[in-house]
């Protein structure tokens, strides 16, 4: 699908995390040449070899799709989860990326992709709320990362957090310790169990994982749409927790003006999360500017923006929008 030949620079951008890996090939004008998709590239979840294989598969698929080889690529950026979590994590990821990449590459955490895909390198902050939650912001040479402490204790506002809060409120309601909620019935049904007892038994015996619970987030969103008070409160709480992530970044960067972006499936859970998020951030930082939340494969565009940036090329919002549109078309084909 090479649209035209020219002297524009071609970039490869990869976005990978706990659930999926996406590679895209695009030029500085926002033209998309190829995409590749595969499974988890988190060594914590699938181990070193599978993480490496999934990145390789996404990259090779994108190259084949574009009818290109590594020699056609002017710059490459990988935004992969766990990079920067600990020095050891960074080294593990750097090691497998080196093994499959014959040219120089940029390696960052996937939250940095989300930042470049929403803030375009301008002073600002992005909050990512998918399975987990984390925020990242930049202002010139300063950068901050907030949240992302893991599903067991934190990741406030994330899909797993929403799911756990929903289970907590449903069990409380079941006991007579909390307000009635339709989640008592909807949670087991959504997970294919007969009762809440069955759900918690399977959780305790590790037959289902906390990560798998993330699929309850849309169930909570649906219950909220149906007017369930408990579900509404959980989503508002989630919006508030995500706002705290943004506010902490803005404060630490001393940014009164700036862009506030959002990325991840939780922001798709209806207007409740997003509206609560915006109003709480606005209350502390009235002059910031919000960009529309991005989802799915869109954060991979951030890797293109960053790769271009390192070549001295600034991708603007018009070009980014063009790239987003092309990505959406490809994603819909899957």
In the complex, what is the shortest distance from the CB of residue 174 to its own copies, in angstroms, rounded to a whole number? 9
Least distance from its own copies to the Cβ atom of residue 22, Å: 23
Name the site residues for its own copies (rule: CB under 8 A): 44, 85-86, 146-147, 149-154, 156, 164, 167-168, 171-172, 175-178, 196-197, 200-201, 203-205, 210, 244-245, 247-248, 251-252
Question: How far is Cα 254 from Cα 208, in angstroms, rounded to an integer?
Answer: 42
Q: Closest CB to its own copies among 178 and 270?
A: 178
**What is the dihedral sign for C-alpha 269, 273, 274, 275?**
positive
Work out how close the CB of 156 gets to its own copies at its nearest, in angstroms, rounded to a whole number.
8
CA distance 279 to 285: 10
- CB of 305: closest distance to its own copies in angstroms? 26
Nearer to its own copies, 151 or 298 (CB): 151
Whole-number minimum distance, CB 241 to its own copies, in Å? Answer: 9
Hey, which bits of the chain come out as E strands? Answer: 10-16, 21-27, 32-38, 75-80, 106-108, 124-129, 133-139, 142-147, 259-263, 289-290
| Nearest residue (CB) to its own copies, 9 versus 211 | 211
Give whichever of 197 and 316 is closer to its own copies, judged by the CB atom.
197
For residue 57, report the phi and psi dihedrals to the nearest 5 degrees. -60, -45
Nearer to its own copies, 63 or 127 (CB): 127
11, 57, 103, 196 from 71: Cα distances, Å: 11, 18, 9, 55
Are 331 and 296 contacting, i.e. CB atoms less than 8 angstroms apart? Answer: yes
């Amino acid at each position: 699908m090479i649209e035209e030949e020219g002297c524009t620079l071609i970039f490869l951008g990869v976005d990978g995390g706990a659930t999926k890996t996406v590679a895209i090939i695009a030029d500085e004008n926002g033209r998309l040449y190829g995409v590749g998709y595969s499974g988890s590239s988190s060594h914590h979840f699938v181990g070193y070899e599978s993480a490496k294989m999934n990145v390789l598969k996404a990259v090779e698929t994108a190259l084949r799709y574009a009818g290109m080889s590594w020699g056609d690529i002017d710059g490459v950026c990988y935004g992969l989860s766990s990079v920067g979590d600990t020095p050891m994590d960074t080294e593990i990821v750097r090691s497998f990326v080196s093994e499959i990449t014959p040219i120089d590459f940029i390696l960052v955490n996937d939250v940095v992709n989300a930042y470049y895909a929403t803030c375009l390198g301008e002073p600002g902050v992005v909050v990512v709320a998918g399975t987990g939650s984390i925020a990242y912001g930049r202002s010139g040479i300063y950068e901050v990362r907030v949240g992302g402490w893991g599903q067991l204790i934190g990741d406030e506002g994330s899909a797993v957090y929403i799911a756990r809060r929903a289970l907590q409120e449903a069990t409380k309601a079941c006991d007579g310790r909390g307000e009635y909620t339709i989640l008592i019935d909807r949670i087991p049904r959504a997970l294919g169990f007969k009762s809440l007892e069955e759900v918690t038994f399977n959780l305790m015996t590790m037959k289902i994982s906390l990560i798998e619970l993330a699929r309850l987030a849309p169930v909570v969103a649906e219950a909220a749409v149906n007017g369930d008070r408990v579900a509404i409160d959980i989503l508002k709480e989630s919006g508030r927790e995500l706002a705290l992530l943004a506010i902490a970044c803005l404060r630490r960067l001393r940014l009164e003006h700036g862009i506030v972006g959002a990325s991840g499936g939780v922001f798709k859970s209806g207007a409740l999360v997003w509206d609560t998020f915006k109003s709480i951030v606005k209350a502390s930082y009235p002059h910031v500017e919000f960009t529309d939340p991005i989802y799915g494969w869109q954060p991979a565009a951030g890797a293109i923006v960053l790769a271009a940036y390192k070549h001295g090329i600034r991708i603007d919002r018009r070009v980014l929008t063009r790239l987003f549109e092309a990505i959406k078309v490809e994603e819909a084909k899957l």
